[in-house]
Structure 1
Amino acid sequence: MYDRRKYAFNGVCYFKNVREIMERDDFFPHIPIGRVGGIDGWSVRLQRENINNITYYKLAIRTDRDRPTIESRVYFGILKPNGETERPVEGNLELRDTCGIAGPKISVDEWLNEGNRYLTNGGIKIEYGFQIKKILSMEGQWTFNFYDKIYDYALSGRAFFENARERIRPDDFPRGRIPSIGGMNDWVVGIHGQFSGDRIYYYPCLTSNEVIPEVLCRYYLSYIKNDGSPDFLEESYTRLEMDASPVGRGATAAVLLDEQEGYLKNGGLTVEFGFQIEGILDSDGIWTFNFHDRLFDWINKLNMITFLRRERDTFEGIAEELKKVKIETMAGEMMKKCVMFFMET
């Protein structure tokens, strides 16, 4: 299954005025991504190419800056007006210093053919994912990309709740099991009804059957509409008291069950979630770093050793804390942070 959110750099780009630009055989503006793998100037493009007097446009990611050879992973897809992905392409590529990453070539006639439904309000929506895995140094050695997040994410996904009309009034939506987070098991994603004034609102939520300690976390929760867009989105960086749970924004049954609103799909509701525990309050009242999962937005965080040093005060204290961590359960980005710290000190 294709999922652009697994990539450190991902998103949806919209190229406007497609018919006008293609019919006059012109160029599309570049849509910048920014700095990837420590290299500036990356952008998503619709590149023009003429072969045997036929004009094609292909999806591409590239930079015009000087750069070394890299090993990368990329995903492209065309988003149709109904939210479906057309002609997805995904793969690993080794790119020499002057090459970009390109998807399949599509002729102008095929792009503009209304039967293909590639155009959305006169433009083209492209979803992409981009990841630089390794970089070839000047000495000819492959080095790990320490600059960006590792491919994939700590924990995020979508849950589909069937038979919404039958389940919403008695508030008996089933709960969907999700993997361990922060070393704690039995997490579930669900929809929970609660009165607010004289109305019942239905909130997407994450809960656990275990006793949850006080944690510092990031999360997002939203309902997903038929066109793939999120709505009633709640995103937060917060401190949760013991046994508290992440809760999204609520909506009434009248809104969620109204066919015109676009939340029902095959009679069910879809909830999108993401969750990251960053710190855990242990039994002696000291905040400890979450070594179990990958970091959310880790490149902008304090070095994990710095975090522990502030809490434990001495390197002996840090050593005692690290002794509690099993290497085989340590997240990849934790290891990256350790390597970076010891290389820099």
Structure 2
Amino acid sequence: MDICSEYAFNGEWFFENAREHIERDDFPWIPIGTIGGCIPGWHMRLKRNPFNDNKLILFIYTSHEKPRLRCFLHSEYLRNDGAWECLTKRAVFIRHDKGGGYGIDFNIDEMDDENNGYLINGGIKIEYGFQIEAILGKNDIWTFNFHDPLFDCEYDENMISFVKNSEEDEMKLFHCHKQLLTFHSTYFDSDSNENQMIELTGSVGFHDFLQISHGVRFLETSKLFYLDALKFARKYKLFNVVHLVDEALRSMDLTVSEAIKYGLNHRLADLLNEMETSEELKEELKKVNLDKISGEMMKKCVKHFFQLVVQNKHL
């Protein structure tokens, strides 16, 4: 079980009355649970190989709708001599409409073999480890799976977990590799040799922020998508993400109040120059908390307000 325990989802099972189940091909489904954050109903079973009726295979499956997945699957079965036969399948691609991943296979003819047999007290003992590495998102863009713990994180202690507790919603967890975050930001403790846990005060846009910070480039056209990610990039001091988001926002329509709220200094100057009346600027400033505006932004707004007052008097 040492190898299997390195995977986010792992376990063992003893399938009783194996000979009868092999004949009828009706091994029971064993529930695994929700994987990938929101993909429920995963189960595991043994079944005959659809391409070779003389072999059994370990099959992991969900009937629920899901995106295409890139997974790692490790599986083992116990032989009657006490040794384990194992197989690790890396980069198993599971289609959204078929929902299954195949692990190790068993030759049915060897079931009772003295040396290679695997029937133990009339049953078959298996162990498994399952990990979703990537999820195919919109526009056929592969994204990281931050919903499940990292591979072998208990041993490597290489993980930062963000947790959002809410009385209204279920607890949300996001897990990512701490090496990238500590490299790009001084916010995180780079000297820590342990897995870290950080509490989130809000989670809207956080998942997209993590994707962008890990190199995923979206084709989004919604400014709210980037503005939500931007607030986390600023909070956690990932200025490379701030730069990427700022570049994406250049082609999008923003208001003065949005530029102030999200700290877009350069964009604020452009938006102020586009304003035609002091009343227009006054209405935008009513939408923000003036006590929280940075000194630099306040100076720009005040200066431009009086410029507009003078300009409007001469019209």
Which has the greater radius of gyration? 2
Q: Which has the higher strand share?
A: 1
